[in-house]
Structure 1
């Protein structure tokens, strides 16, 4: 039987761009924020074109302490989480949407070069 609840789950594998920083919000919890870039190759006609997608990641600070890892620019990581959308109205009274991924699990991936 199907339930009325939906699924909000994201799985990403990519590289950290820029330095992660702690965001002190007015909420009770601090978050580590960083950008993650994912790469894919898309076939356009007869050519393969590289496409990069940038994702804003927000990770609860307590999760970082539990995982006992240090995140730095250039690292390859696996992120599991959910999509969170917020809206703001700017000075011109236009509604803007901010989309970010709230991480629930992060794993550091060590990539070993293949020697042929």
Structure 2
């Protein structure tokens, strides 16, 4: 039987769209930040249209060093994690929100070698 708690889990398979950058949050915890793009083909009437989604990815430093990952633009990644929303005040004192994927598992998907 399900308990009264919720589930916050996400699985993504996509390509690194922006060069990963190491940064720290307000608590000085280090994270690797980048954008991952996922795409799908959606049928609209008789046509098929490609749709891209861009996800803000946040990987804890310990996960990067533990798995000795070297992530680069264009790599395909399999990611498991959770959604986290943060807020901040912009220059005009308007409260803004940022949606991030906090990763707890990441694997680099190797491309299939072509046979010539």
What TM-score do the two structures reach when normalised by structure 2? 0.91
Query: Deviation of residue 90 (structure 1)?
Result: 3.0
Aligned to 1:11: 11
Work out the number of aligned pairs and report it.
Answer: 116
Match of 2:26, SS state, is: coil
Match of 2:7, SS state, is: coil
Task: Measure the CA separation in 1 of the matches of 2:90 and 2:9.
Answer: 29
Aligned in 2, Cα 1:26/1:90: closer, same or farther, shift over 3 Å?
Answer: closer
Match of 1:18, SS state, is: coil
Task: Measure the CA separation in 2 of the matches of 1:21 and 1:31.
Answer: 8
Any unmatched runs of 5+ in structure 1? none
Pair 1:71 & 2:83 matched: no
Aligned to 2:96: 96
| Larger deviation, residues 81-90 vs 35-44 | 81-90
- Taking the TM superposition and a 5 Å limit, the aligned residue runs for 1:28-107 are 28-107=28-107
1:11-48: CA deviation from partner (whole Å, max 9, x where unpaired): 00000012101012332420000100001000111100
| Larger deviation, residues 61-70 vs 26-35 | 26-35
RMSD, aligned CA: 1.7
Task: Measure the CA separation in 1 of the matches of 2:37 and 2:97.
Answer: 20
What TM-score do the two structures reach when normalised by structure 1? 0.91
